[in-house]
Structure 1
Amino acid sequence: MTYRFTLLPLCVLVLSLITGCAINRSATADGAPLARQVTESDHCGLTAPGLVYVSSAGDLDKLAQLPSGNLALSMLRAIDFNEEHLVLVSLGQKTTGGYGLTLTSSEIVDDVLELAVKVRRPAADAMVTQALTTPCAVIAISPEEWEQLRVSGEGLGRFSRQR
């Protein structure tokens, strides 16, 4: 009988320790944010929904070659790629204006950097431009402390990338 009463608290203690081992962080070790939105554009040139990972100035030069892109790269060239990398999150090609993306949160959970974004859509009765657009958000992220990147948002789906 005493074993039962001794074993139960021991099991509860072990389970709480195991659960407490999950690592959740919302800032780097230096206190910097894990992610910040740098800019957004209606014309990134990325015609399919998804993400593009930019870890160097050479990767950034490849973006300049997109035929329908109108992304202001001068602001992005100021990024120190030793400190931050960039993620372009794209909605793909849309038939009107009024679409966009905004970073709402970032957190590391068990070596996964999770970025949550809000998708903006025009209201059904909104007056919008009648032009093809390729909206995206450009997010600077910490390149450390994670092994997988996951981006999700209502109406966006879920995109991921291994380091």
Structure 2
Amino acid sequence: MFRITSPLVVLLLVAFSPSASGEKANMSPEQLRETATHVITGTVSRVYQRGEKRNDWQYTHYVAEVRVKDVEKGDAIAPDRPLYARYWKRRWIGKTIVPLSTSGHRGLPAEGDTLRIYLARDAYDGFTRGNDDGGFNVIGANGFETLPKVTAE
């Protein structure tokens, strides 16, 4: 019978196993709706992005231009008008082990996607409390909910 007793083998197994990244947990639909100042449905017209390196992280910042179909929560949003929703992701580019941290938003939208989007305006967005510039930040790591595509008849 084969038995692993060598500390070197254990060290190799640990070194080459996937590292934990400490991802931010998904919020439930109820938590998303409660945290959001605005909830909309709409179709993504365009996605804009820019990258930046900050310390040992490579950030990608996004803005989705969304044609609003319906406003489920919040005010001062007109249906059939564009809304600009901000979100981000990042990846570790450092030379050390990835620290426990989040990589940002998940389930990122593409042009043509129909979504329900949970947004924060001048309020906590699931990541930071400093969102006070009047823009719309997507809530938490999972603030995009994919909806069935609307087909023209």
> Please, what TM-score do these two structures have when normalized by structure 1?
0.29
Between Structure 1 and Structure 2, the one with more helix by share is 1
Query: Which of structures 1 and 2 has the bigger CA Rg?
Result: 1
TM-score with structure 2 setting the length: 0.30
